[in-house]
Structure 1
Amino acid sequence: MTAHRNFKRQVRARAAKTGESYTSALRHFRPTPPGDVMSEARNPKSVRLAVAQTPVREDPRDVDALRESGRQVRVLMREASARGARIVHFPEGAICFPHKLVMSVDGPQAVGPADWDRCQWPVLQAELAAIAELAGELRLWTVIASVHRLTEPNRPHNSLYVISDRGEVVTRYDERLLSRTKVSYLYSPGSSPVTFDVDGVRFGCLLGIEIHYPELFAEYEKLDVDCVLLSTTGVRPGNAAAQAQGHAAANSYWVSFSVPTQHSATAPSGVIAPGGDWLERCPADGSPAVAVVDLDDGSEAAAESVTYARPWRRESRAGRYAGHQVTDPRSEDRTVAF
């Protein structure tokens, strides 16, 4: 470990002396041979991401609340744009997170099937349309959570809309692994992962309690994403934040963690580097805010994980060790002591 730390000091010293990025200095010490699995690092990718925290309101019958949510989203979109972001990411329920008791036909004291006729659909759709229009004006990719209406009698999806910098919905992610209450009473589950690219950086989307399913994060690693956008509201926030750090480190990609302001005291929204460390977080005081970071695989925060750890794991999983396995009596007999 001492040798490793000394090596990193040498790389930093060269970067400081020459003005190179950490990755450029690293290549001076470890040149990448032609055709090597790490050769993609020769063309670093970068995009500026803003992650938001907003108040989540739980009654889709409340027209004023829906409009206030839309207004707050647009305020933060403008702030993200003013700070140079190319993409902004919002939490689950950014416009409304319908409460199970508010929606229940057996409520408000008991949970039952949701009555989606209670939702003010025209107001919700008008707010989403205004958000899309502003995304086009600001040239800002916007990932916003909302309920996605299906043909009756099907229940809606719990979704993330991906709105391009031209103000167009280019794809939508529907939460797949729903909670017991969501799947029993509220929503129809989705069926597939979703990826999209902004300035050469590839994003994947997850929602709600999907933080608890490492196989979904591993699936996105196989799909070659650079960053997973996780929007959540219905889990213990401190626990979810720790899990998000673990998923980022295990898969060597960024994780954007977006939660409501109600959770900010224990787990504010923020962005996690591929090594598992927080890069930037929103305030922990309950205020609506955005945290802005550059997702740059040429940065020191990403270089080692993206350039070396991730390709090595892929090589290992592809059978790297098969040629090194041996046949030996002391290996086969597991009762041999010492």
Structure 2
Amino acid sequence: MPENTLRIAVAQSTVREDPTDATALRDSGAEVRRLMQQAADAGARLVHFTEGAICFPSKRVMSELGPDEIGPSDWSKAEWAVLQDELDRIAALSRELGIWTVIPSVHQLPTPSRPHNSMYVVSDQGKVVTRYDERTLSTTKITWMYAPGKEPVTFEVDGYRFGLALGLDVLFPELFTEYDRLDVDGVLVSYSTAGVSGHEHIEVQARGTAVNNTYWISLAVPANPDGGLESGLIDPRGKLVAAGPADKTPGIAVTDLHHAEVTTVGREFRSRTRERISS
């Protein structure tokens, strides 16, 4: 692999929706670690997972009035100790494999605060180096389930800078323009299609975002036969260069990122033009 490239893997994994089910959490964690091993075997330095990779809590499962009536989530029902143990195992394997892992999960806050819907960045030393909290929560999430995040987050691997986006963030171009101004080489987008069909437009938006900002996009989605999407890697010209299994089964897609000249040229042009039209 050339010195100036970074091999990245994006995972397409099973999403389960009941955080009160310890067995399901264990199954999700085991699948995540299996895909991490596949990514490492393929030579990846970083592996990126979907929203809900360990669990995408259902509003009906969590409702204190449910499951027939949606109400405030009762997070005391969640198997927090099991969830944390699975995250610890993922971190330990990152260290063992020498691979960076971006793994979305629910981030618990002290009672009575609601948790965040988050993405953890685990280094190749097995340490959580940063965390991103979803900012553009859906109506259900903001009304009944989560506290929103407040700021963009970036991190660097081997000279490449990445931004993070989660859930409905993918629908808001201004968040990606913000990452353009933060000089990222790419944005890792985790988006769940759990329980809903017909998400083909999300790939269209992700590809448009990549070309509009001339940086890489990694789009991680579930292994959902009805979702209309595969996980994939999109280059700065908006081309899908690698995709997960087309039959929507669990697997990974891998490609080598490089510092594209189009990114630098495009960013300089956008910066000059924004300065001119705002003066």
TM normalised by structure 1 equals: 0.78
**Structure with greater proportional strand content:** 2
Q: Are 1:224 and 2:183 matched, yes or no?
A: yes
3-state DSSP of counterpart to 1:151: coil
- What amino acid does structure 2 have at the position aligned with 1:273? D
3-state DSSP of counterpart to 2:224: helix
3-state DSSP of counterpart to 2:130: strand
Where structure 1 has 5 or more consecutive residues not aligned to the other structure, the ranges are 1-20, 22-43, 323-338
Q: Are 1:198 and 2:147 matched, yes or no?
A: no
3-state DSSP of counterpart to 2:188: strand
Q: Render the CA deviation track for 1:61-88: whole Å, top value 9, x for unaligned.
A: 1111100100000000000001110000
The match for 2:102 is 143
Q: Are 1:310 and 2:267 matched, yes or no?
A: yes
Q: Render the CA deviation track for 1:245-304: whole Å, top value 9, x for unaligned.
A: 11101000000000000157621000111011101000121211110111112xxxx44x
The match for 1:253 is 215
Provide the rounded CA distance (Å) in 2 between the counterparts of 1:132 and 1:308: 37
TM normalised by structure 2 equals: 0.94
The match for 1:71 is 30
The match for 1:215 is 174
State how many pairs are aligned: 275
Q: Are 1:122 and 2:84 matched, yes or no?
A: no
The match for 2:250 is 288
- What amino acid does structure 2 have at the position aligned with 1:48? R
- What amino acid does structure 2 have at the position aligned with 1:133? A
Displacement of 1:307? 4.0
3-state DSSP of counterpart to 1:318: helix
Distance 1:307 1:221, change over 3 A: closer
Contact between 2:22 and 2:79, CA under 8 Å: does it hold in 1?
yes
3-state DSSP of counterpart to 1:261: coil
Structure showing greater radius of gyration is 1
Provide the rounded CA distance (Å) in 1 between the counterparts of 2:226 and 2:156: 29
Question: What RMSD in Å do the two structures reach over aligned CA positions?
Answer: 1.8
The match for 1:50 is 9
Provide the rounded CA distance (Å) in 2 between the counterparts of 1:307 and 1:175: 28
- What amino acid does structure 1 have at the position aligned with 2:224? Q
Displacement of 1:315? 2.2
Distance 1:311 1:119, change over 3 A: same
Displacement of 1:99? 0.3
3-state DSSP of counterpart to 1:319: helix
Displacement of 1:188? 0.5
Distance 1:79 1:315, change over 3 A: same
The match for 2:92 is 133
Q: Are 1:176 and 2:138 matched, yes or no?
A: no
Of the candidates 195, 206, 209, which is equivalent to residue 244 of structure 1?
206
Displacement of 1:53? 0.7
3-state DSSP of counterpart to 2:109: coil
3-state DSSP of counterpart to 2:121: strand
- What amino acid does structure 2 have at the position aligned with 1:260? P
Q: Render the CA deviation track for 1:293-330: whole Å, top value 9, x for unaligned.
A: 11112xxxx44x224223222222232998xxxxxxxx
Provide the rounded CA distance (Å) in 2 between the counterparts of 1:257 and 1:311: 25
3-state DSSP of counterpart to 1:262: coil
Q: Render the CA deviation track for 1:212-241: whole Å, top value 9, x for unaligned.
A: 100000000000010100001157521111
Provide the rounded CA distance (Å) in 1 between the counterparts of 2:93 and 2:227: 30
The match for 1:276 is 238
Provide the rounded CA distance (Å) in 1 between the counterparts of 2:245 and 2:101: 21
Distance 1:315 1:153, change over 3 A: same
3-state DSSP of counterpart to 2:175: helix
Of the candidates 116, 124, 131, which is equivalent to residue 165 of structure 1?
124
Provide the rounded CA distance (Å) in 2 between the counterparts of 1:268 and 1:275: 19
The match for 1:39 is none
Where structure 2 has 5 or more consecutive residues not aligned to the other structure, the ranges are none
Superposed structure 1 runs of 4+ greater than 3 Å apart? none
Q: Render the CA deviation track for 1:101-155: whole Å, top value 9, x for unaligned.
A: 0100111112110000110011100000000000001110000000000000000
**Structure with greater proportional helix content:** 1
- What amino acid does structure 2 have at the position aligned with 1:182? K
Displacement of 1:203? 0.4
